[in-house]
């Protein structure tokens, strides 16, 4: 063992400690690697910053921008709606459907691209169903990694497989496109079963970076007992056709009607006015306390639904919520009442309360003379608040969630995604260039502005991966990887082929945690093939074990996909270890079982 090998092993040990104990943020660990490795002489300065221009990191930046464009146009909302239609609100069904879909996409597209493109939809589903996004993103990310094993073009190691084998042995028979499909499918099914059975024990319940809920904790503390969202059904035999003014719901029950789904016209009204009428068969969304809403339903003869159904998507936290706004001195509202101003007609949002002088007014707010500095508690769809934000009348006390959906740009967003896929699959254009082309197309056609594209990129992920790449280079350049491999292989001696292949799988799984999967492939395939020939095993199977084991990287956030979901999922390193330890063992068992029984080892 040379001093350089000892030094790089020490750096690796320090990096793992920093990941586990989180003395600094993970992206800072990446920057430490970029600065420390060249200072220690383990890599050149050029190699130290090579990660920032690597194919993987540039691809991540581009695919995140493409994903943001799809989200901005409502494409991911439509995808989320389709999944919810089949999965309902069952966590097991949602996780299974999302993870299996991403695994399928990953089988013909780089796993980082599949995960990044689908992440906006997964986060929307989490917000809409109330399931913590952390319980969705790890299964999704792991299945994105595993899905790359379904075809020979699903991951970089599998793409390299035939070329590296040919260099080692020119006479070896190459693998076909679907030669690995049985193993990939078995691994995917095993992963889905693992999360369905053990998910509640191994998955964290962090909320990630989502704001969550329709009203923040600060507002809940200020506006106590404002209630929650309910949906009611008006019976078909209801003897009434009354306007909201005639029903007097707010004065009598301190409850705000925020939506009416008219059965007769098949229309939805999200800021109903005093003269808005309710007919038999309609569905009504209200915000109020359970006690008062129950009393209102009994008084009017309406039925309270167990959960939102008609308004499930329209009024989900993803699309609507409650926010506070302050009346500015220049506002048209100043010194007017909401009734005289026709507040709902002008702003298309629902006033719920007025906060003035440490007092909260709920009843009769339409006739209160408004003053500059008054705080209004408003409920509505986020897209309406984004329009209001641009006017001088109101200043919001919190960041407005959601965004204005550019549905008219949907065809452009989808078109540029298809354009990138055609370049990748049809013309074999390098992944980063093809995806950058799609991202550029979205900017040029107005799907995203250049500032929105920059804002969409998670720079923590970028610097984390950019720092891990030179660590992998140092591991290979110093001979540390080859030293560990040859030492272990020499120690096991002559063993049955299945034992040898298992050891190869274990060794490759370790290397792919601390080095790039491409580096592990280039290093391990020739070594494994030579060891297989010596032990009388099939060298092709040894090479196959290596490239599949390169995807067995779940216990640390060092894989591109694991790093991508870390911040949105609110994960800590220990979360990967808890969920990934069992997955790593299961992966090895399923992989070796399929190699043994299906391929006749």
- The whole-number pLDDT of residue 213 equals 43
pLDDT in tens, 103-115: 998 887 668 777 8
Domain shared by 452 and 508, yes or no: no
Asked, for residue 363, whether it belongs to a domain, the answer is: yes
Same domain, 82 and 160: yes
CB distance 296 to 303 below 8 Å: no
Cα dihedral 265→270→271→275 (10° resolution): 20
Do 65 and 201 lie in one domain? The reply is yes
List, edge to edge, every strand of the sheet that includes 256-262: 267-269, 256-262, 283-288, 228-233, 303-304
Query: Is the pLDDT assigned to residue 210 strictly greater than 70?
Result: no
Is residue 582 domain-resident? yes
**Which pLDDT does position 440 carry in this prediction?**
97
**In this model, does residue 378 exceed pLDDT 70?**
yes
Q: Name residues whose C-beta falls within 8 Å of residue 570's C-beta, 6 or more positions apart in sequence.
A: 133, 134, 204, 206, 207, 208, 209
Between residues 206 and 557, the one the model is more confident about: 557
**Where residue 522 falls among pLDDT bands split at 50, 70, 90?**
confident
User: Is 221 inside any structural domain?
Assistant: yes
Tell me the chain's radius of gyration from C-alpha atoms: 29
- Is the model's pLDDT at 369 over the cut of 90? yes
Query: Do 232 and 221 reside in the same domain of the chain?
Result: yes
Specify the pTM: 0.70
449 plus 570 within the same structural domain: no
Minimum mean pLDDT among 31-45, 214-228, 311-325, 447-461: which range? Answer: 214-228
Domain with 583, as residue range(s), is 3-210+458-597
Q: Residue 267: is its pLDDT beyond 50?
A: yes
Other CB atoms within a 10 A radius of the CB of residue 385 amount to 24
Give 280 or 88, the one with higher predicted confidence: 280
Lowest mean pLDDT among 251-265, 487-501, 544-558: 487-501
Residue 312 maps to a domain: no
Q: With 0-12 CB in 10 A as exposed, 13-18 as middle and 19+ as buried, what is 32?
A: middle
Kindly state whether residues 552 and 591 are assigned to the same domain. yes
Please check whether residues 243 and 203 belong to one and the same domain: no
pLDDT band at 208 (very low <50, low <70, confident <90, very high): low
Highest mean pLDDT among 156-160, 182-186, 418-422: 182-186
Count the Cβ atoms, other than its own, within 10 Å of residue 260: 24
pLDDT tops 90 at residue 589: yes
* SS3 label, residue 404: coil
| pLDDT tier at 328, thresholds 50, 70, 90 | very high
In a domain, 573, yes or no: yes
Give the chain's mean pLDDT.
88
Give residue 301's pLDDT. Answer: 93
**C-alpha separations of 115 from 141, 276, 322, 399, 523 in Å:** 6, 45, 31, 27, 27
Confidence band, pLDDT 50/70/90 cuts, at residue 526? confident
Which CATH number covers residue 286? 3.30.70.1450
Q: Which of 137-146, 282-291, 339-348, 519-528 has the lowest mean pLDDT?
A: 519-528
Non-local (6+) Cβ contacts of 465 within 8 A are 30, 51, 54, 56, 57, 60, 560, 563
Place of tokens 């009203």: 215
Answer yes or no: are the C-beta atoms of 597 and 507 closer than 8 Å.
no
Q: What's the chain's length in residues? A: 601
Is 310 within a domain? no
Does 33 share its domain with 117?
yes
pLDDT bucket at 206, cuts 50 / 70 / 90: low
Asked whether residue 139 falls in the same domain as residue 257, the answer is no
pLDDT of residue 519: 65
Closest CA to 382 of 348, 351, 413: 348
Residue 211 has pLDDT above 60, yes or no: no
CA atoms of 210 and 399, how far apart (whole Å): 12
Which token pair is 548? 């599949």
Q: Is residue 314 part of a domain?
A: no
Mean pLDDT of 202-207: 80
304, β-bridge pairs: 232
Owner of token pair 């080095």: 515
Q: Domain check: are 429 and 550 in the same one?
A: no
Per-residue pLDDT reduced to its tens digit, 126-160:
877 888 999 999 999 999 999 989 988 778 788 77
Residue 352: pLDDT band by 50, 70, 90 thresholds? very high
Element (H, E) at 212: none
Number of domains in the chain: 4
Rounded-to-integer distance, Cα 549 and Cα 551, Å: 5
Both 285 and 337 in one domain: the answer is: no
- 551 is a domain residue: yes
> Which of 375, 402, 249 minimizes the C-alpha distance to 321?
402
- Shared domain for 260 and 273, answered yes or no, is yes
In this predicted structure, the answer to whether residue 503 has a pLDDT above a threshold of 80 is yes
């Amino acid at each position: 063992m040379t001093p350089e090998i000892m030094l790089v092993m020490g750096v690796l040990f320090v990096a793992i400690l920093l990941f586990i104990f989180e003395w600094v943020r993970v992206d800072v660990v990446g920057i430490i690697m970029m600065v420390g490795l060249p200072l220690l002489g383990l890599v050149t300065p050029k190699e130290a910053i090579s990660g920032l221009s690597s194919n993987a990191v540039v691809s991540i930046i581009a695919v995140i921008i493409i994903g943001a464009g799809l989200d901005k146009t409502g494409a991911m909302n439509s995808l989320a709606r389709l999944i919810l239609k089949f999965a309902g609100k069952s966590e097991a069904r949602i996780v299974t459907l999302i993870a299996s879909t991403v695994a399928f996409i990953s089988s013909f597209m780089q796993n980082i691209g599949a995960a990044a493109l689908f992440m906006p939809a997964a986060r929307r589903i989490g917000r809409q169903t109330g399931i913590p996004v952390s319980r969705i993103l790890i299964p999704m990310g792991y299945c994105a990694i595993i899905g790359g094993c379904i075809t020979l073009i699903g991951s970089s190691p599998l793409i390299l497989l035939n070329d590296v084998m040919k260099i080692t042995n020119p006479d070896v028979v190459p693998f076909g496109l679907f030669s690995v499909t049985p193993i990939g499918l078995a691994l995917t099914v095993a992963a889905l079963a693992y999360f369905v059975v053990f998910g509640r024990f191994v998955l964290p319940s962090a909320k990630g970076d989502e704001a969550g809920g329709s009203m923040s904790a600060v507002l809940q503390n200020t506006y106590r007992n404002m209630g929650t969202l309910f949906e009611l059904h008006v019976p078909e035999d209801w003897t009434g056709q009354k306007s909201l003014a005639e029903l007097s719901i707010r004065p009598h029950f301190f409850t705000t009607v925020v939506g009416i789904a008219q059965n007769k016209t098949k229309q939805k009204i999200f800021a109903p006015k005093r003269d808005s009428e309710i007919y038999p068969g309609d569905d009504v969304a209200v915000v109020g306390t359970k006690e008062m809403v129950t009393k209102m339903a009994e008084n009017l003869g309406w039925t309270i639904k167990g959960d939102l159904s008609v308004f499930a998507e329209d009024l989900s936290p993803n699309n609507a919520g409650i926010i506070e706004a302050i009346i500015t001195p220049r506002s048209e509202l100043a010194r007017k009442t909401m009734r005289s101003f026709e507040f709902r007609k002008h702003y298309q949002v629902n006033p719920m309360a007025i906060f003035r002088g440490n007092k909260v007014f709920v009843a009769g707010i339409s006739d209160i003379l408004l003053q500059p500095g008054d705080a209004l508690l408003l409920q509505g769809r986020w897209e309406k608040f984004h329009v209001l934000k641009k006017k001088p009348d109101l200043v919001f006390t919190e960041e407005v969630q959601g965004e204005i959906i550019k549905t008219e740009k949907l065809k452009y967003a989808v078109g540029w995604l298809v354009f990138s896929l055609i370049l990748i699959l049809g013309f074999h254009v390098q992944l980063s260039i093809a995806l950058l082309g799609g991202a550029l197309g979205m900017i040029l056609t107005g799907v995203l502005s250049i500032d929105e594209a920059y804002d969409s990129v998670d720079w923590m992920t970028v610097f984390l991966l950019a720092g891990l790449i030179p660590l992998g280079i140092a591991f290979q350049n110093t001979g540390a990887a080859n030293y560990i491999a040859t030492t272990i292989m020499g120690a096991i001696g002559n063993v049955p082929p299945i034992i040898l292949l298992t050891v190869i799988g274990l060794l490759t799984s370790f290397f792919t945690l601390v080095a790039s999967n491409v580096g592990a492939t280039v290093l391990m395939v020739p070594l494994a093939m030579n060891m297989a020939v010596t032990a009388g095993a099939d060298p092709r199977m040894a090479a196959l074990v290596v490239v599949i084991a390169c995807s067995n990287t779940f216990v640390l956030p060092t894989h591109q996909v694991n790093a991508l979901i870390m911040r949105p999922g609110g994960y800590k390193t220990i979360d990967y270890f808890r969920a990934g330890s069992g997955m790593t063992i299961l992966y090895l068992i399923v992989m070796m079982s399929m190699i043994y029984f299906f391929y006749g080892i």
